[in-house]
Structure 1
């Protein structure tokens, strides 16, 4: 028994130190090199934190680029999807209501042109990004409301489009919070 118990206790202690102390310290050290130093990238306007780039926020006014819908109303205390499949009647009603609302606020846009991300919630419910196409389809509405040329708004979208990680992984994205802060800064 002693021949098995002693190595088991030593292995347990070594693994405890490795996974409960060393690994978290290494990950925390690496995170210090990330934007925001591992605490998330804050967006600050006039000395006030207005949000974080990795957490979606609700923008529904016509003067802003609208966010992706959230199944949990952007509650950052937890993330969740609706867990309803694409053939669920309740889900289809919600998606149709979002489509109808989008079309009312964006006259001249056909239903087939609406990117799916503007009428479907993400799996986490906190997606902070849109595709460049989802941002550009909103340009005409924002230009009309704000009195800014569509060309200038398209340029703003292009300036805030982030390409795939390492040029390979994932789609191009536009952070909704960052572009709306830049939109407010336009004169």
Structure 2
């Protein structure tokens, strides 16, 4: 029995060092050397300070800014830890709503969101949350649907905001993977520069 114990312990120690320390350190070192911004969470800087990440949406509620997708994330209720409260774009609790297409709760939420946007047909990504609840991007159509509201709140011509949105459209990866998209944080930063 002891003849099996020693090799087993040696292999356990060896693989613990290899897979628990050497490999993670090597991957982290390569990532820091080759893609430092992405390895550190794709931070977005303004005036020398980190104001967000290009990978995680932010909750913009003022009419002066473009709004992102609704977020279904939550956080513990400070008053009662056994309950949760809405906490938009809470990266510590990434989740979707898990409400199916037949859900009365989902239908009511969508109806409320459409009404808050002025009624009528609206782009789907303005009235439904993403699977993670953290989506930082919108479709170009969803961004363009907000131009009139933002232009009115800022006193800016709608045509200049439409051009701004078009300038912020990112094409599909390699021209074929995904859909055209607009990063809401980048769009709002460009909006602030435009409207100074």
TM-score (norm 2): 0.81
1:138 is matched with: 146
What residue in structure 2 maps to residue 119 of structure 1?
127
The equivalent of 1:29 in structure 2 is: 29
* CA deviation vs aligned residue, 1:36-56 (integer Å, no higher than 9, x gap): 251122222233332221111
2:56 alignment partner, SS class? coil
Q: State the partner residue of 1:74.
A: 89
Matches within 5 A, 1:145-156: 145-156=153-164
Is 1:157 paired with 2:165?
Answer: yes
Q: Which residue of 1 aligns with 2:84?
A: none
Tell me the CA shift for residue 4 of structure 1.
4.2
Match in the other structure for 1:166: 174
Structure 2 runs not aligned, ≥5 long? 74-87
Q: The residue matched to 2:134 in structure 1 has which SS?
A: coil
Aligned-CA RMSD value: 2.1
Aligned to 1:57: 58
Query: Counterpart of 2:187?
Result: 179
How far apart are the structure 2 equivalents of 1:161 and 1:96?
Answer: 28
* Aligned pair partner of 1:98 in 97, 109, 113: 113
Unmatched runs of 5 consecutive residues or more in structure 1: 105-109
Inter-partner Cα distance in structure 1 for 2:110 and 2:35: 36
